[in-house]
Structure 1
Amino acid sequence: MDREERIKRHLAYLAQEKADELEKNKSLIKAFIDYCKQFEIDLNSSNFDYQQGLGILCNSKDIVLKINPEITTDKEGLFDFHHLLKTYTKKSFSEGALFADNYIIFANSYYRRGFYENNNFAPRFIDHFWRHDFQENEVSLALDLNRVRIDTEGPILIEEDTWYGANFSENIATIKDGVTNLRPPQYLNEFELDFVFASAFALDVYWYSYEKIKVFQALEFKQPNVTIKIEGNSYFPVRYVHAEYDLDKETFRHFDGAIQFYTEAEYYERRENNFNSKVKGEYQVKSMSKKLFKINGDFSVDDWIKFTSHFFAKNPLILEYFEGKEPDHLVPYLEAFKKEKGIT
């Protein structure tokens, strides 16, 4: 059996599985349709889907806001995490999900592997977010507003992963202001870049200071073959992190992350200019963007390292920046690639 035939059979299996699961859950779907009528949401069978690992999904514009009008967003489209936990329940082994009696809501799909809504969450930012003790912080995050899961007792997808946070021992106060540009080795081809660098093109880091505050910013550019479709248009996704360190208190006081969506022209211009286009110390963002999380209040250096390392999931450049060298797990792969290409 050749590869094309295997793919054909696999797709046929998935289609049959979806049909079987939707048929098996007809009563559950009808009950949820009836439940939503009280919120003046008109649903039918076309609003429901099944995905392996995600279960029976109801897709409808802003359904999360409509079935729970008590939860509201701030001006950046984020939700107060503490308020969410008073309304919904966290469960073990279900990081990224919040449970009501008859439906489940999710963290935003841009936290998922490859930014794709039907994948599992990328390692391990959401896991740490769900397990962290934020009692001393104001904390908020973005949600997937347009779908909920309705088989609340269904199976969950658990994936093992070997992505770990970075080691870091440098004193924040002693870090020099300025821009650092990191790139993967130029001898890697597209497949190798995808395999060991998660298709990273660059990671640009910028520190600057004002008064008693030291500011960290980082931009992650992917290779130009990585794009996202939004309302029929293609954009280049660029992950962005911003944090503020209080030099007197020796702790971070603010931390947030976003994903920016560049047009082709913006992408090629910005990836070369990186933070050199800054104005008055602040990186100016004119592209379309989506804020994904925000944490205010004392936040330790160790926690900042952990969350930043996992926000830039699978990109060894962030580990290289924090540790000052290529990660140990990467060295055998790079040596093998160089040997194959005759590079000494």
Structure 2
Amino acid sequence: MLKFLGVINSDKVNKYNMRFTVGSLESAYSDNWKWGVPSFLNHDHLKPIAWSLVCALYFEPGMVRTANLTYVPENDSESKLIGSQIQKYYIEKTTEFISPYKNELLKRLKPYLSRDYKFCATESAAVIDKGIAKRVFPEIFETDDKHGLVLLSKLNPVAPGIFERDGLLIYASSFFRRSFSRLNTLNTPFLKRFQEISLSRQLNSKIALDPDMVGLADSLHEVFEFQYWWGPLFNEKLDDIPNGVSIHKSNQKDIIFTDIESTEFWWYEQDGRKTFECEEVVTRPSLGISDTSYGCRFVHSMIDQHSNEPFHLDGAIRIYDEEKILKRWDVDISNSGKDTEYIKIWRLDGNISVSEWKELISHYYRDNMLVGEYFGGKDNLKDFKPELLVKENNTAPLSEYVPTHMEKGEGIRIALSYHARTSERNTRRKIRVTNSLELNNSRVRYVEADTLEIIKKLRKRGETLNVPPNTEIIAFEDMLINFPLFLHRGSQAVRDANVTLDVIHELCCSWRDRHDDRAITFNIGIEYDTKEAVFSFAGHIDDLIKWFNFSGSRFPSQESEIGLWCETAAKFLTDNFPESNDKPKLGELLNSSGMLHFERRFLSPKDYELYMDEKNKAVGVEIKMLRSETEVVKEIKNGHLQVAPAFIVTKSECSKCGSEYRFCDCSKYIENDVVEIMQKVWCIGVFWTKRKA
């Protein structure tokens, strides 16, 4: 499967003017980290395309984000796997939500149920059964409207498109839902404005209700999609628009998401009145109706010739079968005729301002940007032009060579990820190897050489920790370090984790005292009651020392305190460092395991040659560069871009103290020994860096 890293939420105010606290982001993650959720094309639950899991909470100065991993199938077998997972998800989530309300719902509706009823849990605990709403509330559905529309004034709205009577809920027609399916949410942006405008202006307003669905009022909850949808700004001059048909077509990308091939706008005169019709033309069946029916949203309106303002506006669905939609694709709206099934679902009569008229039409066509495009709408909140990641002159940016690094003063980054507990319980503290690379045509696991410094310092404190078997120790000769995951288990797990944190603090202080310009990542895992929490950190050692000296850096003593720890950590970052604005970018620092990592970009063996520099008693590197890469050459000459070797730390003995290199305090500073290592061709590659040791 394809795997993508993305962001699904943050603690910033979103375009719905809502903000999630850091604690609520952690709580939502804690509740759902095991299971994941389906991903749908354009929020349409009849178009499942992938499966998403929360990867981590990502903290930077000024913002906390929820990062997710999305798995997209590439073949039929993977699609079936995703499909079965989604089906299981629906069954479990519906059962879980319905359970507390099931008995009361059945008690209230028992006299009206047929044998074919089923449960639904979109906006509330509800029952779907043919004609049940009409049987429960016949007085509401009694209407003299030839289309079966109900006066809005007869209803008690408790949410957009949802109405309460005697503790039960009635819903707007399923034609207000994507693909006209009850698995999808109602068109809240439209229904909210429809109700607000109708009630504030006392217009004669009517709406179609769903005759086949009744819910329990006590179970009503608001559903947030957070798909960005906007009500455009328009001018008011309808009389300037000439009669005729205008057609706006979707690009190929938008068609994939919306199934809308085009939207057609027709102005004409009828009985001396200026009249407007608008219809979208779809390319795929509307599965909420059937797999052979094509539902196209339709609007009709009439304009008062004296005030030049609308006095009538209604919306409908025109349903084409396969034969008729083929004909519809070949003609425009003025020549399409009326030979379709026509279902009116809302109507407004009275003085409607032009701005309200355009707003309602725009929201009715949710997900269809062509309507706003036709009306000349401009979105002041969002620029839809994608960001250019590569310079127009095609010169490779420096990030192509050094993907991530962090400077002093840029603050630290934190990632919190949750994982399943393992059954192995034989050690209180262990190293879990998180890194591997290709070596001699096979993949080897490794830890970086400075991990040995952590082991030695822990042993001096009477603590135990060992490098796992079959693990290489590799020294990268730059000033970046990616420590492995230090996992802590048992009743003393939190205490042990704080000791490991103290050792890393001590090591960072010794580097600072040597004036090292060094940045590191490290990962502390703690097994709590129900899951394993991994706290991952990245930053320059000077900035990390600020964190270590902060009392809130101590790990939560209980699982229930993690949310508060997250709030405290986020506040510390914001209060002590400048807002980072996603620098370095989340996707360059956070990996799919939910941990932070400074990536190294190795040169291809054909792009360099190693040689022994006898004068300097060091290994030299000769780089082969294309003359056209002038920017890169300039960066190399200026010292902003360098190369450094990586080599395996051997088990040879130190010439000074006689101990094994891996646990020797002096060997790494003995020039001759390092040269000897290089001469034996234990160098495994050369990589780009901004910090050469």
Distance in 2 (alpha carbons) for counterparts of 1:158 and 1:227: 23
User: Is the contact between residue 258 and residue 293 of structure 1 (CA under 8 Å) also seen in structure 2?
Assistant: yes
**CA deviation profile, 1:14-59 (whole Å, cap 9, x unmatched):** 323333444443421342134xx3xxx3446x524142x3332222
SS at match of 2:171: strand
Q: TM-score, normalised by structure 2?
A: 0.41
What residue number does 2:360 align with? 307
Within a 5 Å distance, the mapping from 1:157-172 to structure 2 comes to: 157-172=223-238
Q: Which amino acid aligns with 1:76?
A: H
Q: Which amino acid aligns with 1:28?
A: E
Q: Which amino acid aligns with 1:228?
A: L
- State the 1:245 CA deviation: 0.6
Distance in 2 (alpha carbons) for counterparts of 1:252 and 1:308: 12
Task: Structure 2: give runs of 5+ residues left out of the alignment.
Answer: 2-70, 393-693
**CA deviation profile, 1:199-241 (whole Å, cap 9, x unmatched):** 3211111111246521111110122x343354x5611111111
What residue number does 2:314 align with? 256
User: Is the contact between residue 164 and residue 217 of structure 2 (CA under 8 Å) also seen in structure 1?
Assistant: no
What residue number does 1:90 align with? 157
The structure-2 alpha-carbon separation of the partners of 1:204 and 1:61, relative to structure 1 and needing over 3 Å to count, comes to same
Among 369, 372, 386, the residue aligned to 1:319: 372
Within a 5 Å distance, the mapping from 1:275-314 to structure 2 comes to: 275-277=333-335, 284-314=337-367
User: Is the contact between residue 233 and residue 379 of structure 2 (CA under 8 Å) also seen in structure 1?
Assistant: no
The structure-2 alpha-carbon separation of the partners of 1:328 and 1:217, relative to structure 1 and needing over 3 Å to count, comes to farther
Among 55, 58, 63, the residue aligned to 2:127: 58
What residue number does 1:218 align with? 278
User: Is the contact between residue 316 and residue 326 of structure 1 (CA under 8 Å) also seen in structure 2?
Assistant: no
- State the 1:170 CA deviation: 4.8
**CA deviation profile, 1:169-205 (whole Å, cap 9, x unmatched):** 15111211111111124xx3xx55334xx23211111
Within a 5 Å distance, the mapping from 1:196-275 to structure 2 comes to: 198-210=258-270, 212-223=272-283, 225-228=284-287, 230=289, 234-275=292-333
- State the 1:82 CA deviation: 1.1
Within a 5 Å distance, the mapping from 1:41-120 to structure 2 comes to: 41-43=112-114, 47-51=117-121, 53-71=122-140, 72-73=142-143, 74-84=145-155, 89-91=156-158, 94-120=159-185
Distance in 2 (alpha carbons) for counterparts of 1:202 and 1:26: 44
What residue number does 1:32 align with? 108
Identity among equivalent pairs (%)? 23
Among 143, 152, 155, the residue aligned to 2:218: 152
Q: Which amino acid aligns with 2:174?
A: S
Count of equivalent residues: 311
Larger RCO: 1 or 2 (CA < 8 Å, sep 6+): 1
1:125 aligns with 2:190: yes
Among 169, 182, 186, the residue aligned to 2:248: 182
- State the 1:288 CA deviation: 0.7
Distance in 2 (alpha carbons) for counterparts of 1:327 and 1:183: 23
Distance in 2 (alpha carbons) for counterparts of 1:233 and 1:130: 32
- State the 1:126 CA deviation: 1.2
Q: TM-score, normalised by structure 1?
A: 0.80
- State the 1:70 CA deviation: 1.5
User: Is the contact between residue 316 and residue 327 of structure 1 (CA under 8 Å) also seen in structure 2?
Assistant: no
The structure-2 alpha-carbon separation of the partners of 1:305 and 1:334, relative to structure 1 and needing over 3 Å to count, comes to farther
User: Is the contact between residue 126 and residue 215 of structure 2 (CA under 8 Å) also seen in structure 1?
Assistant: yes
User: Is the contact between residue 285 and residue 292 of structure 2 (CA under 8 Å) also seen in structure 1?
Assistant: no
Distance in 2 (alpha carbons) for counterparts of 1:335 and 1:242: 41
User: Is the contact between residue 198 and residue 205 of structure 2 (CA under 8 Å) also seen in structure 1?
Assistant: no
Task: Structure 1: give runs of 5+ residues left out of the alignment.
Answer: 279-283, 340-344
Distance in 1 (alpha carbons) for counterparts of 2:329 and 2:168: 41
Q: Which amino acid aligns with 1:49?
A: F
- State the 1:148 CA deviation: 0.7
